[in-house]
Amino acid sequence: MNIVDHFAVDNVLSKDLYAGRFNFDYDLTPDKSYKLMVPVTNIGLEPASGYTLSVVRDGSLVTTLPGVALNAGETREFTCDLDINNGMSKMLGYKAYIDWKDDMRHDNDTTAEQRYVVNIPDLPRIMSLKGVKGESNVSLDWGAADLSIADKDTVETFENFPTFSIGQTGSEVEGDNLGKFITVDRDGKTPLPLKIGSKTYTFPNCTKPFAFATFNSTLTDPKISSSSYKGQNSATCLISLAVDGQKDDWLISPELTGLNSEIKISCRSTSASKGLEVIQLYYSTGSTNPDDFIALTDSVEVPNAWFNVTLDIPYGAKRFAIRAMTNGGTALLVDNFKYVVPDSRYQNLKLSGYNIYRNGIKLNSALLNARTYTDASADTKIDNYYTVTSVFDRGESGASNVLKIDGTNSLSTLTGDALRVGTDGRNIVVDNATDGIVYVYNAQGFLVTLRQPAHRLVIPVEAPGIYLVRSTGKSVKLMVK
């Protein structure tokens, strides 16, 4: 018996070039050079010449290489030198494309984008770069990086707090304790009985008004056997139960550093039969009063499976909050809360000076001592992207906030470009999503993830299929293969 695998029938064209996958699989280190190898194959029937190969990084041209003549079936690897520096983003996306006027097929002229991590030193970054464009120059200024405080990741699984703690006075749990987390029960209502089918399950504090409680499904009376009430990685998590009408339960984080940081949380609805749980995410600049919090997202329905949320917290944010606001539902579970806490490891750093970068290229030959710079060589007719770094006795920091100086007479921070959505393997890639939260839904209409606005988002999804991406009232449907 003969077995044939990966058999396909395709039209063979007389003129057809194909750009293959990069031969490059490294993490990148600043101040080092790398060679990116891009294979180009002539899959047409006739010889090919007169084309070029261009390499782009995050949408900006790196280089254009002249093509070489290729006979039918011949492959040639093109080499592009990559110079990496601290003025670049921590994640860089590269792709290459062929430009050949005779090509009879164009869907194979561009490679899939490949993302590479830049190993930036753990040093404080500047987040206050500002600038203004003159007739023939760009004037920049910035504040010093804050050395008084650093941040350190911590993940709270809620397993070390007494089970069924509610963080409120009058608790039935001896030693009730939620650490530095704060809960606020704004609706003041007693939770509805926890029922699964015809059975009712009880636990300490279940008949008291509360916002969130530490919960272990193996310790209820009777024990809950359903996996829908277990934590993401263990039996323990936080729970917010349904009330009669709409609830308004707040979980407020311990104090954060105030630096730009990333928050990750996992949550789920225990059931969809009475409606999915609804949450909204907030931050404050220090207050623990819910009235002082600022919304980070719209209200979001939480799937009845564990759902991971990743958000960038803006500079100056000192508290983060999850607001459970379901009208109906059964219960919301929260687990694996990753956030940052203060650390003092930057306090003994010594500053040597600054470097300024335009479009990823360093402009100054010697370290800058002043926190101002005039770029007299910029082409002000085109868009230019600026970053600044601090140089310390332990090395050079990562890049500051990206400042975009438009080729027109305006100043912006990566806004106003058209939203673009595409795929790269098992990733959804969203460009120019700078004006609002990005929501990704699966074909069943369940929210898969949501992300904070950014110039570029690369969002991995677990399964192939149809997805809907929504941001600022616009929706794009696409297929992930």
Share of the chain above pLDDT 70, in %: 94
- What is the number of alpha carbons within 13 Å of residue 399 lying toward its C-beta? 25
pLDDT of residue 418: 56
- What is the Cα–Cα distance from 260 to 283, expressed in whole angstroms? 12
Q: Where are the alpha helices (DSSP H) in 276-329?
A: none
Confidence check: pLDDT of 415 > 80: no
* Cβ atoms 314, 260 nearer than 8 A: yes
332-358 pLDDT, tens per residue? Answer: 999 999 988 777 888 889 999 999 999
- What is the Cα–Cα distance from 236 to 57, expressed in whole angstroms? 44
Q: State phi, psi for 291 to the nearest 5 degrees.
A: -65, -20
Confidence check: pLDDT of 122 > 60: yes
Query: Which residues make Cβ contacts (< 8 Å) with residue 135, sequence separation at least 6?
Result: 380
Confidence check: pLDDT of 134 > 50: yes
CA dihedral 327, 332, 337, 342 (to 10 degrees): 40
Confidence check: pLDDT of 411 > 50: no
Count CB atoms within 10 A of the CB of residue 173: 17
Place of tokens 């058209």: 418
Report all structural domains of the chain as residue ranges with CATH numbers, in order of start: 17-117 (2.60.40.10), 130-144+347-412 (2.60.40.10), 153-343 (2.60.120.200), 420-480 (2.60.40)
pLDDT of residue 414: 32
* Cβ atoms 81, 359 nearer than 8 A: no
* Cβ atoms 23, 77 nearer than 8 A: yes
Q: What is the DSSP string of 207-235?
A: TS--S-EEEEGGGSBS----GGGS-SSSS
366-406 pLDDT, tens per residue? Answer: 999 999 999 999 888 877 889 999 999 999 998 888 888 87
pLDDT of residue 54: 92
pLDDT of residue 213: 97
Mean pLDDT, all residues of the chain:
87
> Looking at residue 64, what DSSP letter applies?
E
223-278 pLDDT, tens per residue? Answer: 999 999 999 999 999 999 999 999 999 999 999 988 777 889 999 999 999 999 99
Three-state SS letters, 442-453: ECCCCEEEEECC
Task: Determine the residue type at 114.
Answer: Q
* Cβ atoms 248, 323 nearer than 8 A: yes
Between strands 60-66 and 52-57, the pairing is antiparallel
